[in-house]
Amino acid sequence: MKDIADVVKPYAPFIFEMELFGTCPDEDTWPVDRSWKVFNAWFSYHVGSMVWDLSPEVILEHNDY
C-alpha cells in the first residue's frame, strides 16, 4: 500500500491553492512559497471516508436506472 504522502504530494499544489482561495480569494496575498515542506507545515491529512476526485478526466458517469 502506498504511503498517504505519496498519494497527496502530486495534488498538493492544487489542494494548497484551493484551501487558500477558500480563505482569501485575493491571490496577491497568498504566500509565495507553497512547497511540499510548507504544505506539510500548514496542513495535516489522513485517510477518511470523504472522497474527492482530483482527476481532470471524467472517470465515472452516474446513470439513474
Radius of gyration of the chain (CA): 15
Q: Which of 16, 49, 19 is nearest to 35 (CA)?
A: 16
Q: Which tens digits make up the pLDDT trace of 28-42?
A: 999 999 999 999 999
Q: Which residue has the higher pLDDT, 9 or 2?
A: 9
Spatial contact of 39 and 12, defined as CB atoms under 8 Å apart: yes
Q: Is the pLDDT of residue 20 over 80?
A: yes
| pLDDT given for residue 40 in this prediction | 96
| pLDDT given for residue 65 in this prediction | 47
Q: Is the pTM of this model over 0.85?
A: no
The DSSP secondary-structure symbol of 9 reads: G
